[in-house]
Amino acid sequence: MSERYKYTGVNSIKFNDCFRSDDDCYKYIASIKWDGEKFACKKCNHAKFCNGKSPYSRRCCKCRYDESATSGTMFDKCKFSILIAFHIVFKIGTKKKGMSTLELSKEFEQRQDTCWEFKWKIQQAMQSSKRFPMTGEIYIDECYFGGPEEDKPGRSKGNKRLVIIALQKLADGNLGRAYAKVIQNASGLEFKPFFNDYIDKTANVVTDKWAGYLPLIPEYPNLKQIPLKWWIEFSGYPYTHNEFKRMVKGHTPSL
């Protein structure tokens, strides 16, 4: 594996071929973390280093601080091998409907609590930097998330969470990035911070006819409201609301 190589794609065969051992994983992290020969000691900021004690770690030549390749990453102090950790990340990152901790526990033969802890780390790492708002065709909707409640059938709010969701439709028709945020009410005041964080002002935004989106049109001139549920237009198929929400949950693991 060459220096500064970055794995992309969702092909599991290629991924398995690329990461066959712990050594492959440590080498990959080190090449990304230090970008070849770049190094700055966390303790004294010295630039010169030698090999550290653990695989692909670096030891400062001045203060002798030893920094591992996984330090400061979600792989630090992992309770199972880094190879298993890499494959869990790949599974969660590529499966459209995500993976439950029970599924991860069974597939990788780990305790469910251990899988939960590591999945939480992955979710934190997947949070947006908010430096690259979505462009192109963006579809937005708000809906309630939560299971059925006793004596509260249908769309009853109960303890469900109101969530605003944005999906990016790529040129080939597939789903690009997806973001979601819990909001207090479906008003323009609640929508605006979400728009500002994740959506470029030039994006072609599509929403339903809800009046809460109207105050955003001056800032997002390409916002278009359509009378029908937009996920039908987005997908080309008449998804039910529940099917739509399952699709969203697969791409926004914090939900």
The predicted-structure confidence for 90-131, as pLDDT tens digits, reads as follows 988 887 667 889 999 999 999 999 999 999 888 878 766 677
H or E stretch at 176: strand 175-182
Reported CATH class of domain 137-251: alpha beta
Q: Report the SS3 class of residue 18.
A: helix
pLDDT in tens, 190-203: 999 999 999 999 99
pLDDT interval class at 249 (50, 70, 90):
low
pLDDT score of 181: 87
How many residues are listed for the chain in this entry? 255
Residue 243 above 60 pLDDT?
no
Question: 49-51 and 58-60 as β-strands: parallel, antiparallel, unpaired?
Answer: antiparallel
Cβ atoms of 80 and 95 closer than 8 Å: no
Bridge-partner residues for 178, per DSSP? 167
Rounded to two decimals, the pTM is: 0.59
Mean pLDDT of the chain: 82
- Domain range annotation of the chain: 12-125, 137-251
pLDDT value of residue 125: 80
Q: What is the mean pLDDT of residues 234-248?
A: 50
55 and 23 Cβ atoms separated by less than 8 Å: yes
Judge contact between 122 and 102, C-beta under 8 A.
Answer: no
Cβ 60 vs Cβ 41: under 8 Å: yes
Among 73-82, 169-178, 235-244, which is the least confidently predicted range?
Answer: 235-244
Cα separation, 78 vs 119, in Å, equals 11
Answer positive or negative: Cα dihedral of 223, 228, 230, 232. negative
